[in-house]
Amino acid sequence: MSAHLLIRQATVLIDRAFQVSDVLVQDGKIAQVAPEIAIDSDTPVIDATGLTLLPGVIDPQVHFREPGLEYKEDLFTASCACAKGGVTSFLEMPNTKPLTTTQEMLNDKLDRASQKCLVNYGFFIGATAENLPDLETANPTCGIKIFMGSMHGALLVDQESALERIFASGRRLIAVHAEDQARIRARREQFAGITDPAVHSQIQDNQAALNATQLALKLSKKYQRRLHILHLSTGEEAELLRHDKPVWVTAEVTPQHLVLNTSAYETIGTFAQMNPPLRSPQDNEILWNALRDGVIDFIATDHAPHTIEEKAQGYPNTPSGMPGVETSLPIMLTQAKQGKCTVEQVANWMSTAVAKAYKIPNKGIIAPGYDADLVLVDLDTYKPVLREELQTKCGWSPFEGWNLTGWPVVTIVGGQVVFDRGKLHTDVRGKALSFG
Ligand code: DOR
């Protein structure tokens, strides 16, 4: 593999504006960005005329199922899906088997990823009611994940006293899945026997999400603790943060919570089931406004694959979650084309702002000295999401049949071409991310 690479005549996002430019990559980094760069005859060239160059997507919430649940997905198949989707780095969640709640399990994931991952990787450490010491010392990690609800077993931390102990000790980022487990439990009984999957959004309702977000915010304010609210899903939570968001708090939204709502149960049934659930069209609009206004900081997919057989079992026996890494960028760029936002905002929400929030050095910006994690997209061609083209092991997408633009043409990880016009280069390996 050559240490040099020239991307010629791409429309490049430079300093928040687009300019047609050459980009020279050297030893895994961006070496030069200029209108025309002279090169040696042996430097490989990617002709990017008519294509747009964006910083590679950093997906800050994914569930890649390894170890223990590889029948749904594994780090190799998931990272192939990332490469195809323009995702050059990901932050992965601890609800694997065994759980990622100790240094030993974190090391195991890092080791597996170094052998199998086509893109860069980072892992959360999962909080239990008992592993306070691990939460502060585990390294490297992007932060502590707390499931306040929608979880069972050791990873469910739903008692305020246990939550307060975690918020009170240490300084590193706490990311919360904010749903009120007590309310969910009570409503599950109230709605027992209903098999229409649409009831999922009623059981785990807006109030359940709001209660937990309020509690996390209260504890974060009490201890001035760095808090990140994962997959914010309701208008109520967005309005809460609009009026009360300390500078040390960030929030994310998924593409699904922006472009899907409860009407999806009518078309794709339990394949629309996720936690927190899909909400109303009004919630979609309030979330869009919050994202555009900076109340919500960035986007994550919550890629959570389950097999078609599992998803077809019938509610309430179906698991929650849907895949997302290979469709998130075209979904958002199609929204940009439709006028919901700008391409520059998409690049910020899916890369620059994530690198900033998680203090990932040298990523998320196209400028000399930054890592050459890049994606070239085609903003003119429309192509449908097709099941047979999916790389995720689960083999389905909630967006099948959607006609999208902004599909990645070439994805580059650390200066290496990992996806090129439909072909994956499966010999490429990403690196462990570091967190400043
Ligand atoms: O829908 C979801 N599925 N939400 C989560 O937070 C967990 C995920 C999973 O792991 O399946």
C-beta separation of 412 from 393 below 8 A:
no
**Three-state SS for 344?**
helix
Which class for 290: exposed (0-12), middle (13-18), buried (19 or more C-beta within 10 A)? buried
Tell me if 365 CB under 6 Å of ligand 1: no
Q: How much distance in Å is there from the Cα of 254 to the middle of ligand 1?
A: 12
Are residues 71 and 42 part of one domain? no
Distances (CA, A) of 108 to 97, 133, 411: 11, 19, 27
Instruction: Look at residue 388 and tell me if it is in a domain.
Output: no
Q: What would the two tokens of residue 195 be? A: 């098999």
Bond from prior residue into 67 cis (ω within 30 degrees of 0): yes
Tell me if 11 CB under 6 Å of ligand 1: no
Are residues 410 and 340 part of one domain? no
pTM here is 0.98
Instruction: Look at residue 430 and tell me if it is in a domain.
Output: no
Find the CATH number of the domain harbouring 78. Answer: 3.20.20.140
Q: What is the residue with the minimal CA distance to atom 3 of ligand 1?
A: 321
Q: What is the residue with the minimal CA distance to atom 10 of ligand 1?
A: 304
Find the helix or strand (DSSP H, E) in which 131 lies.
Answer: none
Task: Spell 394-427 as b/e; 16+ CB within 10 A means b.
Answer: bebbbbeebebbbbbbbbbbbbbbbbbeeebeee
Are residues 261 and 200 part of one domain? yes
Are residues 214 and 112 part of one domain? yes
Instruction: Look at residue 245 and tell me if it is in a domain.
Output: yes
C-beta separation of 232 from 255 below 8 A:
no
Find the CATH number of the domain harbouring 20. Answer: 2.30.40.10
Instruction: Look at residue 314 and tell me if it is in a domain.
Output: yes
Q: Cβ–Cβ contacts within 10 Å for residue 312, how many?
A: 14
Q: What is the residue with the minimal CA distance to atom 5 of ligand 1?
A: 275
Q: Give 426's Cβ-side CA count (13 Å radius).
A: 8
What's the CA gap between 158 and 23, in Å, rounded?
49
Tell me if 304 CB under 6 Å of ligand 1: yes
φ, ψ of residue 14 to 5 degrees: the values are -125, 125
User: 302 an active-site residue?
Assistant: yes
Are residues 161 and 35 part of one domain? no
C-beta separation of 367 from 75 below 8 A:
no
Are residues 22 and 68 part of one domain? no
Which residue in 154, 167, 104 sits closest to 126, CA to CA? Answer: 154
What's the CA gap between 423 and 157, in Å, rounded?
43
φ, ψ of residue 184 to 5 degrees: the values are -60, -45
Q: How much distance in Å is there from the Cα of 321 to the middle of ligand 1?
A: 5
Instruction: Look at residue 265 and tell me if it is in a domain.
Output: yes
Are residues 190 and 281 part of one domain? yes
Are residues 122 and 252 part of one domain? yes
According to the model, what pLDDT value does residue 1 have?
42
| Domain residue limits at 33 | 4-53+370-381+405-424
Tokens 């919050």 correspond to 290
Are residues 8 and 64 part of one domain? no
Give the nearest ligand 1 atom to 321 CA. 1
Q: How much distance in Å is there from the Cα of 402 to the middle of ligand 1?
A: 23
Which of 283, 297, 302, 373 is labelled catalytic? 302
Q: What would the two tokens of residue 16 be? A: 């928040």
Are residues 172 and 116 part of one domain? yes
According to the model, what pLDDT value does residue 17 have?
87
Give the nearest ligand 1 atom to 230 CA. 6
Instruction: Look at residue 390 and tell me if it is in a domain.
Output: no
What's the CA gap between 278 and 258, in Å, rounded?
9
Q: How much distance in Å is there from the Cα of 322 to the middle of ligand 1?
A: 8
Domain count, the chain: 2
Give Cα 16 to chain centroid, integer Å.
22
Tell me if 275 CB under 6 Å of ligand 1: yes
Are residues 246 and 185 part of one domain? yes
Tell me if 274 CB under 6 Å of ligand 1: yes
What's the CA gap between 193 and 171, in Å, rounded?
44
Which residue in 161, 286, 304, 164 sits closest to 225, CA to CA? Answer: 164
Are residues 39 and 155 part of one domain? no
Task: Spell 119-128 as b/e; 16+ CB within 10 A means b.
Answer: bbbbbbbbbb
Instruction: Look at residue 179 and tell me if it is in a domain.
Output: yes
According to the model, what pLDDT value does residue 246 have?
98
Q: How much distance in Å is there from the Cα of 172 to the middle of ligand 1?
A: 23
Per-residue pLDDT of the chain (436 residues; tens, 9 = 90+): 446 999 999 999 998 889 999 999 999 999 999 999 999 989 999 999 999 999 999 999 999 999 999 999 999 999 999 999 999 999 999 999 999 999 999 999 999 999 999 999 999 999 999 999 999 999 999 999 999 999 999 999 999 999 999 999 999 999 999 999 999 999 999 999 999 999 999 999 999 999 999 999 999 999 999 999 999 999 999 999 999 999 999 999 999 999 999 999 999 999 999 999 999 999 999 999 999 999 999 999 999 999 999 999 999 999 999 999 999 999 999 999 999 999 999 999 999 999 999 999 999 999 999 999 999 999 999 999 999 999 999 999 999 999 999 999 999 999 999 999 999 999 999 999 999 9
Instruction: Look at residue 303 and tell me if it is in a domain.
Output: yes
According to the model, what pLDDT value does residue 126 have?
98
Q: How much distance in Å is there from the Cα of 92 to the middle of ligand 1?
A: 12
Tell me if 95 CB under 6 Å of ligand 1: yes
According to the model, what pLDDT value does residue 180 have?
98
Contacts of 139 (CB under 8 A, 6+ apart): 103, 106
